[in-house]
Amino acid sequence: MSELFESIRQGLNEAIKYERGDLPVRVDKVTVAPLYDFSASEIKEIRIKHNMTQRLFAEALGVSVKTVESWEAGTNKPSGIASRMLDMLKQDNNLLERYYIIARNVI
């Protein structure tokens, strides 16, 4: 019980020092890159670069084949996490293998 009390006492003392301005404060500024607006041809290029069919690409991304078809036809656009994933795939040829999303077996 004394360890818990000591931890609470230390935290309260640090809070008091912080309020008085006696404790140095570190501030990290974080910025988030905007979502990239992929064209239909860019999406197809990413898929082909990874040597995948539309079906395999859809499975790897966790979307339907119809979704990939509509992206590549330009009738729909990826949003949110799909856009981030496409951006990561564009930059890293080994992403899917590294995170065990796909396994390539050469035969």
CA-wise closest residue to 58 among 87, 86, 92, 93: 86
Q: What is the mean pLDDT of the chain?
A: 93
CA distance 77 to 59: 17
CA distance 12 to 91: 46
CA distance 63 to 94: 20
**Per-domain boundaries in the chain:** 40-98
CATH for 40-98? 1.10.260
CA distance 88 to 107: 28
pLDDT digits (tens, 9 = 90+) for 82-104: 999 999 999 999 999 999 999 98
Tracing tokens 């992403």 back to the chain, one arrives at 95
pTM: 0.74
pLDDT digits (tens, 9 = 90+) for 5-56: 888 888 888 888 888 888 777 778 999 999 999 999 999 999 999 999 999 9
Helix (H, G, I), strand (E, B) or coil at 106: coil
